[in-house]
Amino acid sequence: MKNQVHNTYSEVQTYIKNADDFLITTHINPDGDAITSVLLIAVILDYFGKKYRIVINDPVPHKFDFLSDVEKIQCFNSKNSYEYNNLIVLDASDLDRIGRLKDTIIHPADISIINIDHHTSNVYFGLLNLVEPDKSSTVEIVYNIFSAFEIPLTKDIATFIYTGIMCDTGRFLFPNTTSNSFKVAARMITAGAEPHEIGRNIYYRVSPDSMHVLSKALTTLDFHFNDKVSSMYLTRNSFSNNNKIDTEGFVDYLMTIDRTEVQLFFQEIEKNTFKLSLRSRSYVDVNAVARKFNGGGHLRASGCHISGDIEDVKKKVIDVIKNYI
């Protein structure tokens, strides 16, 4: 059963206290906000002695291996049986975003879904929907749930929260950064989070393979509409031995280019299927662009998947963007 009404923190807190047997998940290709959100909700469930599992579609990127309890996060395995009464979905705008786990919801009427998110494109797919686009990150929303309970704020928990906010605000540089983001981050530092160590783990452990692949992507750099739009891409043959390379931050290199308004990074994830990461600097609504291709996200950062060869895919996107430039 879907509920198009925005639920309150109190309603979500009460439900968590009274229910049991949870499965926790997040979106495919998890980022820092996704990983820390599932770990923080697990802290709350541990506090109340709830039964739960954390299962996500893809492996946790190695740069998050410094987070405590990260080993609790299991990667989906089609050979396993997944039975649960309550599904907590974090940082995902719709159920398609959770990947293969969606197929385990055999009888939707028997599963209660708690949808906690901060994307403007969220479709309110849960029985309970706590969706707050004005928050910097989903982990900031989960922190508000956490704060209502008398759970001790340890260094490890503070590290979760600081990491998630730092990642989703682009090191406190993206437009979703708010004064509250800094207030919460400051509380986490007081509680023991170490910004220099967190930053080192996230941003300064890039593998040689990743740098090699980035160099290939940069050779495809292209500009459109008098340099207002920049783009680059990777095809599957860019990856030797089918290595799983973390490309999450590649689009950020395009954002460093002066005078560009929109940045596009295309990555072929299956033959003739591209994952597109979109960013904008000041006025283009890239969420609206992504929605043209059944994607979504935020006003200044969004994504989608598009089928076709690279030239066809680029043309499709450029033809849409010209209406916004």
Q: Token match 């495919």: residue?
A: 28
Q: How far apart are CA 81 and CA 257, in angstroms?
A: 48
pLDDT-derived band at 108, boundaries 50, 70, 90: low
* pLDDT at 2 exceeding the cut of 80: no
- At 249, list the tokens: 């931050």
Look at residue 250 in the predicted model and tell me its pLDDT.
Answer: 95
List C-alpha distances in Å: 103 to 76, 100, 159.
Answer: 11, 6, 33
- When pLDDT is cut at 50, 70 and 90, the band that residue 1 belongs to is very low
The contacts of residue 37 (CB under 8 Å, 6+ apart) are 26, 90, 91, 116, 137, 138, 139, 142, 164
Q: Which residues of 38-66 are buried (b: 16+ CB within 10 A; e: fewer)?
A: bbbbbbbbeeeebebbbbbbbebbebbee
Q: Is 176 exposed, middle or buried (0-12, 13-18, 19+ CB in 10 A)?
A: buried
pLDDT grade for 238, boundaries at 50, 70 and 90: confident
- pLDDT on residue 246: 84
Specify the DSSP class assigned to residue 6.
Answer: P
What class is the 9-202 domain? alpha beta
Q: For residue range 202-222, what is the model confidence (pLDDT) as tens digits?
A: 999 988 999 999 999 999 999
Could you check whether 9-202 and 209-321 share the same CATH topology?
A: no
Give phi and psi for 276, each to the nearest 5.
-110, 125
Which candidate, 201, 225, 265, 219, places its Cα nearest to that of 29? 265
Give alpha helix (H) positions in the chain: 9-18, 32-47, 138-147, 155-168, 179-190, 195-203, 208-218, 250-255, 286-291, 310-321
pLDDT at 61 > cutoff 80:
yes
- C-alpha dihedral sign at 122, 87, 143, 204: negative
Average pLDDT of the residues in 56-78: 96
* Lowest mean pLDDT segment, chosen from 19-23, 174-178, 186-190: 174-178
Query: Can you tell me the distance from the alpha carbon of 43 to that of 220, in angstroms, rounded to the nearest whole number?
Result: 44
Residue 242: pLDDT over 80: no
Residue 243 has pLDDT above 60, yes or no: no
Architecture of the domain whose range is 209-321: Roll (3.10)
pLDDT at residue 110 in the model: 78
Q: Burial, 157: exposed, middle or buried (Cβ in 10 Å; 0-12, 13-18, 19+)?
A: buried
The per-residue pLDDT for range 133-165, each reduced to its tens digit, is 999 999 999 999 999 998 999 999 999 999 999
Q: Where are the domains of the chain?
A: 9-202, 209-321
Q: 240: pLDDT confidence band, cut at 50, 70 and 90? A: low
- Identify the CA nearest to 35 among candidates 91, 87, 88: 91
**What would the mean pLDDT of 227-237 be, rounded to a whole number?**
96
Average confidence score pLDDT of the chain:
94
Between 177 and 4, residue with greater pLDDT: 177
Predicted pLDDT at 107: 65
What pLDDT sits at residue 3? 55
List pLDDT tens digits, range 123-137.
999 999 999 999 999
